[in-house]
Structure 1
Amino acid sequence: MLNSNYVGIAYSTEKKYTDRKKKNWFRPDTQYPEMMFDDCSEHNQVYEAVREALHIYQMDNDNYGTDRWNPLGELIKPGDNVIIKPNLVMDYNQSNEGTECLFTQPEVVAPIIDYILIALKGKGGIIIGDAPMQECNLEKLLEESGYNEMMEWYRNVGVEIKIVDFRGLTTQIDSKKRIGVRKQTISDNQDGTVIDLADMSQFAKYDKEHLEKMRITNYSPDRLKEHHCPGRHEYFVSNYILNADVVINMPKPKTHRKAGYTAAMKNMVGMNVRKEYLPHHTIGSVAEGGDEYKKKSLLRNIDDKLYDIKNTLEGKERYKAAKVVWYIAGGLKFLGNKVHHDEAEGNWYGNKTISKTIVDLNKILFYADKNGHIHDEIQRKTLNIGDMIISGEKEGPVAPSPKQIGAIIIALNAYIFDMGVGIMMGADATNFPFAEDCKNANESLPLCNYQDDELIYVSNDEKLNNKDIKSVSNELKWKFVPTKGWTEMFI
């Protein structure tokens, strides 16, 4: 297995997913020597790309091509509890351009399940879990995407794999257009642990005034203030993640309005039971100490206050009153967008809040034990495998347009994964807020022990293989169209 400063890019022979009308569409089309099961599909180039990603990353390299090949054996031991964490953000694409560019597709997950089973040798367990957006209809997503069909196949061959919804709060939007007032439902089975990073948080340096200006869209600001105040920075993390010995992080890299792009590190937002613990932006302009938008605006200041009222009313289940406020706030928002041409709600490259949340969550992933206590030593193993067969560009994460890449991405280190993906997208990733926050985090709970220029690509594309980030030509890059607020940070 390669060192954690390497990121692998395995290109598929085709830039598309499998034909789900075919029998066993998620199974390999070749009976590889290491395979546990006999069933094959008619054609599956995606399985081959995932297998090739493990190969180019030199995982159990000595046994490749034999029935002894166990690529995940260095990470996973018999008896381990393994979590697969895909990105299952939403069941529909707001751009109406399909869901293949929206969430991690099941035929990318299937080969990883097979290789986990090889490593476990009949002992241990596998759970697939995520916390989608609060209004996501997860059952609809699992049924329509083929996840349920895939899980049924594994059950029929004697392998029980649970798919778990980590969310402790879901919402239903009171509108056929999927906009408007959100009716909240709090689960009775909130299986998570509240973890206080306190002075180890990226937010620890902020004073009370700044912390009280932090927001997450569509949640009451009062709830966020309870969990982020001087001396307290709490996150409500799924116990499934905390109890894992190994986490296989399977993001869907694509553009992102608030973060610029989402990849491995941002995918860990989905390990939270309650999203109202997660600061996403800070209200106000840069001049006012915020990062929601660039220039001062009285119109947007008023709109912020109205949305605070609307979100507070929703939290108190006063939905009729919330709907009235929402109409007024929505009108002002429309007017504000006409008057100002820059993005609001932190949907731009000046957002310095969401990157701190992302870094905090990755600290917890690595350094929190099963009881939520933070240690100096890493507590669980991780591997990052990204689905970029079809990625998403333009207005991601929930309104992306398809971008055909035909690649599977692999890296041991999440920061290296994200940096490698960002550079290939065409982003000035070394100057993104998350890069600065990761470097600052290294003073307390390190997330990466390498400098950016130590990143090395390995690939089945000889033009890219063994290149560092400075020597990758623009011709090799994927040239993503960014979200409107991040155009200045992409080539």
Structure 2
Amino acid sequence: MLKPNWVKEHDERFPGPNRWEHVVTHPTVIEAVARWAAKKMQGKGSITLCDAPQTDSSFARIREYCGLDALLARLRNDFPGVAISTGLPGDPLGNTHIRLDSASEFVGYRGQGRLYGASYDVAETNARHNGTHHEYLLCRTPMDADVFINLPKLKTHKKVGVTCALKNLVGINANKNWLPHHTEGIPDQEGDQFPSATTRARLEHAWMGAAKRWLNNRPGASRLFVPIKKVGRLVFGDTQKVIRSGNWHGNDTCWRMVLDLNKCFCFFDGAGQPRKKPLRYLAVVDGIVAGEGNGPMSPDPKPCGVILAGTHPVAVDCVAATLMGFDWQRLRLLKNSFQIRELNFVEVRPEGIEVISNRPAWAGRINEMEETFNFRPHFGWVGAIENNPRALTA
């Protein structure tokens, strides 16, 4: 299975067919990897290209803008013995229900009961995560794959700092509202929705919370949430300028969910049972035209002309973050990857990560990388994660 980043058909700020290269995995990268994999299969087997885009995205437009039909036609013509598919309406194999329970990174987290998922139905999110009860619903096709090739986009991210191999697994979920994204409240209340208790933040929390509860009790009125959000933005400020919804470096929720997903994927198969053989995994990161600033949905293009590849998601992400000009040890997602209590899928150590590159300044140990692209972080992360080495231009 090949798992691109197909989160959205365009930059959220600029809808249209020519605004996607810095948002999703480039089809040339997808095709190159698919061809490499198909050759290895020697005329038999199957390759599935799949992702679960954001709920308000249009896969039809992703397919159109990225030329996926022509891509598939070329692959099928050149590899007739390999079944190659994408764009299915749901997972034909169904779902995989995983209960991590005491092995979850949310065990002991004091924000439980106020977790916010992917929609205003917070009751559903918190029903799946409380005490030592923690569960996820994943698509079965990736869980059953003999080989999983992760094809993330190199971008900044508003909730975890960077989105790369680890975060790309959000796209294998069957119900994203089971995924806690932030915790309602401020840090003094064990929350991370807002960084501080300003009058505006208190009013927004109360007003939007009441609106969400009202809508949750009236399923037929859910279509009203979009205009309500628009009114909220006018009153409380635009999300591109105002920190809300855990979109800052103090988010102590989302990294836990991402590590949990990787635990589910590494340790369980499609039947929800412990894997009998190790997962065969490869990550190939598209950094040709990366995304900086307000990622993942509204990043600015960052031409880098780089491809990263590796066999462990944490090693890949640490190198990617360093190459972006960030201190990976200031990113909770990466720092805490090396401190997992149960179901530890990170057998590597930071000092053991070695970079092999055609650029001498990057080759060697991760802490020896001398030149970076100095990405601009999401505005909620500015000043919290940057390194200051010599800048590099593509």
Pairwise same-fold verdict (TM > 0.5)? yes
Distance 1:321 1:438, change over 3 A: closer
The alpha-carbon deviation at position 167 of structure 1 amounts to 5.5
- For 1:465, the equivalent position in structure 2 comes to 363
Distance 1:276 1:463, change over 3 A: same
1:155–1:161 contact (8 Å) kept in structure 2: yes
Supply the distance in 1 between the matched residues of 2:308 and 2:174 (Cα, whole angstroms): 27
- For 2:6, the equivalent position in structure 1 comes to 88
Supply the distance in 1 between the matched residues of 2:182 and 2:88 (Cα, whole angstroms): 25
Does 2:329 align with 1:433? no
The alpha-carbon deviation at position 206 of structure 1 amounts to 2.8
Supply the distance in 2 between the matched residues of 1:296 and 1:395 (Cα, whole angstroms): 23
Supply the distance in 1 between the matched residues of 2:32 and 2:170 (Cα, whole angstroms): 24
Does 2:123 align with 1:200? no
- For 2:380, the equivalent position in structure 1 comes to 485
Supply the distance in 1 between the matched residues of 2:87 and 2:330 (Cα, whole angstroms): 36
Q: Secondary structure at the residue paired with 1:139? A: helix
- For 2:164, the equivalent position in structure 1 comes to 263
Q: Secondary structure at the residue paired with 2:366? A: coil
Amino acid at match of 1:102: V
Supply the distance in 2 between the matched residues of 1:116 and 1:321 (Cα, whole angstroms): 43
Q: Please give the residue correspondences for 1:64-463 in structure 2 after superposition, counting only pairs within 5 Å.
A: 83-96=1-14, 98-157=19-78, 158=80, 159-165=82-88, 191-206=94-109, 210-312=111-213, 314=215, 318=219, 320=221, 323=224, 330-337=230-237, 343-374=243-274, 379-441=278-340, 443-463=341-361
The alpha-carbon deviation at position 133 of structure 1 amounts to 0.3
Q: Secondary structure at the residue paired with 1:383? A: strand
The alpha-carbon deviation at position 472 of structure 1 amounts to 1.7
Distance 1:315 1:115, change over 3 A: farther
Supply the distance in 2 between the matched residues of 1:486 and 1:167 (Cα, whole angstroms): 35
1:368–1:379 contact (8 Å) kept in structure 2: no
1:195–1:234 contact (8 Å) kept in structure 2: yes
Q: Which runs of 5+ in 2 are unaligned?
A: 388-394
The alpha-carbon deviation at position 142 of structure 1 amounts to 0.8
Supply the distance in 2 between the matched residues of 1:156 and 1:312 (Cα, whole angstroms): 52
Larger radius of gyration: 1
Supply the distance in 1 between the matched residues of 2:102 and 2:6 (Cα, whole angstroms): 32
The alpha-carbon deviation at position 239 of structure 1 amounts to 0.6
Amino acid at match of 1:484: F
Supply the distance in 1 between the matched residues of 2:49 and 2:232 (Cα, whole angstroms): 41
The alpha-carbon deviation at position 414 of structure 1 amounts to 0.2
The alpha-carbon deviation at position 311 of structure 1 amounts to 3.9
The alpha-carbon deviation at position 314 of structure 1 amounts to 4.9
Supply the distance in 2 between the matched residues of 1:355 and 1:292 (Cα, whole angstroms): 14
Distance 1:104 1:423, change over 3 A: same
Q: Secondary structure at the residue paired with 1:194? A: strand
Q: Which digits, 9 at most, give the CA deviation of each residue in 1:153-206, with x for residues without a partner?
A: 2233424311145758xxxxxxxxxxxxxxxxxxxx782122111001000223
- For 1:42, the equivalent position in structure 2 comes to none
Amino acid at match of 2:148: V
Supply the distance in 2 between the matched residues of 1:378 and 1:486 (Cα, whole angstroms): 39
The alpha-carbon deviation at position 232 of structure 1 amounts to 1.5
1:237–1:273 contact (8 Å) kept in structure 2: yes
Distance 1:414 1:166, change over 3 A: farther
Distance 1:192 1:113, change over 3 A: same
The alpha-carbon deviation at position 227 of structure 1 amounts to 1.1
How many residue pairs were aligned?
379
The alpha-carbon deviation at position 85 of structure 1 amounts to 0.5
The alpha-carbon deviation at position 248 of structure 1 amounts to 0.2
1:310–1:326 contact (8 Å) kept in structure 2: no
Q: Which digits, 9 at most, give the CA deviation of each residue in 1:15-34, with x for residues without a partner?
A: xxxxxxxxxxxxxxxxxxxx
**Which region of structure 1 is more displaced relative to structure 2, 418-427 or 292-301?**
292-301
Supply the distance in 2 between the matched residues of 1:309 and 1:223 (Cα, whole angstroms): 17
Q: Secondary structure at the residue paired with 1:264? A: coil
2:5–2:25 contact (8 Å) kept in structure 1: yes
Supply the distance in 2 between the matched residues of 1:356 and 1:290 (Cα, whole angstroms): 14
Q: Which digits, 9 at most, give the CA deviation of each residue in 1:380-419, with x for residues without a partner?
A: 2110001111000111101111100001110111000000
**Which region of structure 1 is more displaced relative to structure 2, 328-337 or 142-151?**
328-337
Supply the distance in 2 between the matched residues of 1:385 and 1:321 (Cα, whole angstroms): 38
Distance 1:285 1:114, change over 3 A: same
1:283–1:292 contact (8 Å) kept in structure 2: yes
Amino acid at match of 1:89: V
Q: Which runs of 5+ in 1 are unaligned?
A: 1-82, 169-188
The alpha-carbon deviation at position 335 of structure 1 amounts to 4.1
1:166–1:271 contact (8 Å) kept in structure 2: no
Q: Secondary structure at the residue paired with 1:482? A: coil
Distance 1:192 1:313, change over 3 A: farther
- For 2:390, the equivalent position in structure 1 comes to none
TM-score (norm 2): 0.89
Amino acid at match of 1:490: E
The alpha-carbon deviation at position 104 of structure 1 amounts to 0.5
Supply the distance in 1 between the matched residues of 2:19 and 2:334 (Cα, whole angstroms): 31
Distance 1:269 1:374, change over 3 A: same
Amino acid at match of 1:275: K
Q: Secondary structure at the residue paired with 1:98? A: coil
Q: Secondary structure at the residue paired with 1:470? A: helix
1:193–1:371 contact (8 Å) kept in structure 2: yes
Distance 1:86 1:332, change over 3 A: closer
1:154–1:160 contact (8 Å) kept in structure 2: no
Supply the distance in 1 between the matched residues of 2:223 and 2:180 (Cα, whole angstroms): 22
1:90–1:136 contact (8 Å) kept in structure 2: yes
